[in-house]
Amino acid sequence: MSTATAERTGSHTTSDEALLELDNIGKSYGNVHALRGVNIHVRQGEVTCVLGDNGAGKSTLIKIIAGLHDYTEGTMKINGIVRRFGSPRAAQAAGIATVYQDLALAPLMSVWRNFFLGNEIRRGLGLDIEKMKQICDAELTKMGIAIPDLDRPVGGLSGGQRQCIAIARAIYFGARVIILDEPTAALGVKQSGVVLKYIVAARDAGLGVIFITHNPHHAFLVGNHFIILKLGRVVLDAHRDELTLDQLTAEMAGGQELEELSHELRGVDVDKVVDVKQGERVHVVAPSLDQEELSEVRSEEAEEEK
Ligand SMILES: Nc1ncnc2c1ncn2[C@@H]1O[C@H](COP(=O)(O)OP(=O)(O)OP(=O)(O)O)[C@@H](O)[C@H]1O
Ligand SMILES: [Mg+2]
């Protein structure tokens, strides 16, 4: 396991070579361009947050890095060497660990079995259960994860605990890049807090952390580097010293688009509440669009169909 020696002060160090480098990556599913021209650099000892709405391409991006899908354009480099993983196992062997939201662990298996899944310690023809339990206990304790009974099936643990065990496992088995797919999406405030602390712990251990989220607030609590994907393209790539939480939130909400939208809706009286007497017939008056607005709507629709 590597340990970051250089303390970061919040600003990025451009001299560091990226651990993972995506250059002009594209991915098509038949006619659907899920990703286009994506450039992302993930550095050791940094939390890189990838934000984006539904359908932005976040999962596609993870699947490429994790070896589940191949890319159709561009290059992916790990430590400066071009790689094309044929399988998730090949990505894992290159030090890339992925924690999927629901599939982080096998729910019916015990904590220690999950910890060693795919990396079991053997003794003779069988498994060295005692040793695995001992290491699992020591590693979880070291990370401050308190699980009283390691024989318990993981399915009985909270979502937050499951995420933390998956992170501890990735660190123990020497991952250099850890990808977390929406780890806080289904969690309450306390559990999210714990998971965010483990994200920081992974960064402090010197890993390159890729934190996928919808939530700019969660991203800004731990992120060093922020990327927003929209319809498969990178629309923002900034380091912490280059933006504020308000800017990140506004960008996520649509930024420029929101401004245009509020311009479109100027003149609407939002304070107005309409009283309708019982039994009175309701008439809806369709909003009138002038020629210019109609042609703008049509050209936007035509653009979408392309
Ligand atoms: N296997 C597939 N076959 C065809 N199209 C796909 C496939 N997987 C994803 N897509 C399309 O690619 C685009 C990006 O999808 P992706 O799942 O990567 O988005 P996402 O950012 O993860 O969204 P969400 O927040 O909903 O998980 C979408 O238009 C989606 O419909
Ligand atoms: Mg997704």
pLDDT tens-digit profile of 52-80?
Answer: 988 899 999 999 999 999 999 999 999 99
Q: Is 210 in the pocket of ligand 1 (CB under 6 A)?
A: no
- Ligand 1 centre distance from Cα of residue 154 (Å): 29
- Per-residue pLDDT, 11: 44
Q: Is the dihedral of CA 7, 11, 15, 16 positive or negative?
A: positive
- Per-residue pLDDT, 157: 85
- Per-residue pLDDT, 103: 63
Please state, in angstroms and rounded to a whole number, the distance separating the CA atoms of residues 192 and 190: 5
The structure tokens listed for 15 are 């001299």
The region, left, alpha or beta by phi > 0 then psi within -120 to 50, assigned to residue 79 is left
Most distant CA atoms of the chain, gap in Å: 84
Whether the model pTM is above 0.85: no
Q: Which residue has the tokens 């919808």?
A: 214
From the CA of 53, give the closest atom in ligand 1.
Answer: 25
- Per-residue pLDDT, 289: 79
For the CA of 34, the nearest ligand: 1
Residue nearest atom 4 of ligand 1, based on CA coordinates: 29
* CATH class of segment(s) 20-256: alpha beta
Please state, in angstroms and rounded to a whole number, the distance separating the CA atoms of residues 194 and 89: 29
- Per-residue pLDDT, 102: 65
Tally Cβ neighbours within 10 Å of residue 215.
16
The structure tokens listed for 253 are 């909400």
Please write the tens of the pLDDT for every residue from 280-303: 887 888 777 788 888 888 887 887
